[in-house]
Structure 1
Amino acid sequence: MSRRFIVFADSFDENNGGVIALHRLCDLLNKAGREARLWPSRLPLWHGERPWASAWAAWRWYRRAWRRPYRTQARFDTPLATPADLDGAIVVYPEIVHGNPLRAERVVRWLLHKPGFHKGRYEYGPGDRYFFFQKAFDDPALNPDGDNLLKVVWLRDDVYRQTNFGERHGSCYFLRKGKGRPLVHELEGSVLADRLSHAELATLFNRTQLCVSYDSYTMYSLFAALCGCDSVVVPEPGVSKEQWYPDEADRYGLAYGFDDLEWARRTRHLLLPRLKAQETQANDTVGAFISRCDAYFP
């Protein structure tokens, strides 16, 4: 029996790497020949024992959806699920989701960041299975199954490419998940890039000399390097470069601190081939994910 996959995800947002990953996973599962559907994360499931509360939650959802409809990516194969689709399905939650809102019997937790990073706590079930987006997010205490890598890539090299090979000036920076950390670079004239569109970012990255990120794991640091920027990730206290990314190939084009700029410049030309290879390899990790889920949940 080939079980359906339900991916629990927010509305598509081109500026949210975690949401992109969830929608991309659903797309790749369908392209691999399995049935996969998205469940909007704010869509409540009906509770028969609490009809009034369920009706109120549903009314709030549809009122919100009328004002701001749930978005998908037109290039992806990501149909929406119905309650009937939940029967017997494997539900994939990102690590940020507490509990089991869809009351699924077969649950996968996809660690798109370190468990508890966003809210300081996490609440998972005893029978849940764990996959991680990259080794830095794995937690052996939660995941006894070893190398359950599930990494999907949507490489926007149609947007992020170097067009300026001449003079550059100034800097830009990202806070994102590093909001609240001390700012250590020169702020005068530096552009906060958190809310810019992809097209605006590509233009900015091709104009500026330096991009500084206080979010240790955002893809935007890589996009900046693809556009020819000196891309610096501000180190987290107590986290070494090897702990940040154990595989040095994951550090191509990136400086972990300002003292690491020579490495970033020397390896920048290796970044695009690395990302292209990762995009291709994503299909392989999805295939392994399917096989392991079939074994976990026969």
Structure 2
Amino acid sequence: MKFIIVTPGYDDNAGGIVVLHQLCDRLNTLGHEAYIWPFFKPALDFTNPFKAVYLFSRYFRKSIKYGFKKNPKLDTPTASYEDMQDAVIVYPEVIVGNPLKAKNVVRWLLHKPGFNNGGKIDFGADDLFFYYDKAFDDSRYNRYPENHLHIVSQRSDVYKITNHNGRHGKCYLLRKGYKRDIVHDTTDSRLVDGLSHEETAQVFNEVEYCISYDTYTMYNVYAAMCGCVPIIIPEVGVTKEEWQPLEEGRYGMAYGFDDIEYAIQTRPLLLEYMAKQERESNESVAHFVEKCKEYFNF
């Protein structure tokens, strides 16, 4: 059984893209056969020649202009058209429809369906669903609540406490919350969007608080790993339990300005939970493989 993961080129600052590439790497590391597929590369479908010519010309233009970045530390070969035969195709939830005309389709919910693509949702009736985080699971589409596929990208080599001499001030994250209203005083508050991991870790080690308008970014966890208190700005009408149904997902983070003490008290539990998640990542991938074998009759 082969797996092909549809993904953009590797971007160290995009958590969803990172785990798509890591899924391919982990599958290969565990002895399976896995490839990645550039998300803008079209299928071989000449039923509409004019559309096919347009899609391939667009693909070649983008390839020349942007290339397709990989992480050389990961085992992520690029699939050929021959590799697609009877493969399990893994789409992130942002992919609309089934552009590769695949027979065996997995939808990996890396966020709430429709959140990152303007509400566009077009899933197949026979698609198999997995979710990255319990908060992203959606029973309207996923019939198997046990289908949890979670791969941790801890970056503990970078995100750790290096400052033991006191902290001052705050920084803030926008990321996917860039359209939200800014509700805190930005005076002497540094925006860390766009910084390298090393630069971000340095800021997290200098400041006391990180105000986050992206409620689900891994950078909230990274801040806590550096000894900073991430304060997540709540979405209107969303309770703390609705934001993160599992308490482990709330460790080390404040959901609103009145939740800071909880974040400080539970930070040690977050670090323990992160270590546990790392151990469980391979188990999660193994479960994913077995579920695919069962569902697609391999």
Shift of 1:113: 0.5
Letter in structure 1 aligned against 2:58: R
Which residue number corresponds to residue 49 of structure 2? 51
Shift of 1:248: 1.2
Give deviations 1:172-231, integer Å, cap 9, x for gaps: 111111122121111112111111110110111111111011111000011011111111
Which residue number corresponds to residue 234 of structure 1? 233
Which residue number corresponds to residue 268 of structure 2? 269
Which residue number corresponds to residue 147 of structure 1? 146
Distance 2:292 2:44 in 1: 27
Distance 1:231 1:159 in 2: 17
Distance 2:164 2:198 in 1: 18
Matches within 5 A, 1:64-143: 64-118=62-116, 119-143=118-142
Matching of residue 252 in structure 1 with residue 248 in structure 2: no
Which residue number corresponds to residue 289 of structure 2? 290
Distance 1:191 1:33 in 2: 44
List alignment gaps of at least 5 residues for structure 1: none
Distance 2:150 2:252 in 1: 20
Shift of 1:60: 2.6
Aligned pairs, how many?
296
Secondary structure in 2 matching 1:58: helix
Letter in structure 1 aligned against 2:18: I
Distance 1:236 1:121 in 2: 21
Shift of 1:55: 2.7
Letter in structure 1 aligned against 2:247: E
Distance 2:212 2:167 in 1: 18
Distance 1:222 1:146 in 2: 24
Shift of 1:121: 2.6
List alignment gaps of at least 5 residues for structure 2: none
Secondary structure in 1 matching 2:290: helix
Shift of 1:54: 2.0
Which residue number corresponds to residue 18 of structure 1? 16
RMSD value, Cα: 1.1
Give deviations 1:27-78, integer Å, cap 9, x for gaps: 1111111100000001122321233432332233223222322111111111
Distance 1:121 1:60, change over 3 A: closer
Identity %, equivalent residues: 46
Secondary structure in 2 matching 1:37: strand
Give deviations 1:77-118, integer Å, cap 9, x for gaps: 110001111110100000011000100011010000011112
Matching of residue 223 in structure 1 with residue 226 in structure 2: no
Distance 2:144 2:44 in 1: 33
Shift of 1:16: 0.4
Matching of residue 42 in structure 1 with residue 56 in structure 2: no
Distance 2:137 2:46 in 1: 37
Distance 1:15 1:258 in 2: 26
Distance 1:291 1:215 in 2: 33
Secondary structure in 2 matching 1:57: helix
Structure 1 ranges of 4+ moved more than 4 A: none
Distance 2:240 2:292 in 1: 33
Secondary structure in 1 matching 2:211: strand
Letter in structure 2 aligned against 1:195: G
Shift of 1:250: 1.4
Letter in structure 1 aligned against 2:188: G
Give deviations 1:109-159, integer Å, cap 9, x for gaps: 000001111211301111111100011111111111221100011210000
Letter in structure 2 aligned against 1:297: F
Which residue number corresponds to residue 213 of structure 2? 214
Shift of 1:251: 1.1
Distance 2:42 2:193 in 1: 30
Distance 2:43 2:140 in 1: 30
Distance 1:71 1:64 in 2: 12
Q: Which TM-score applies when normalising by structure 2?
A: 0.96
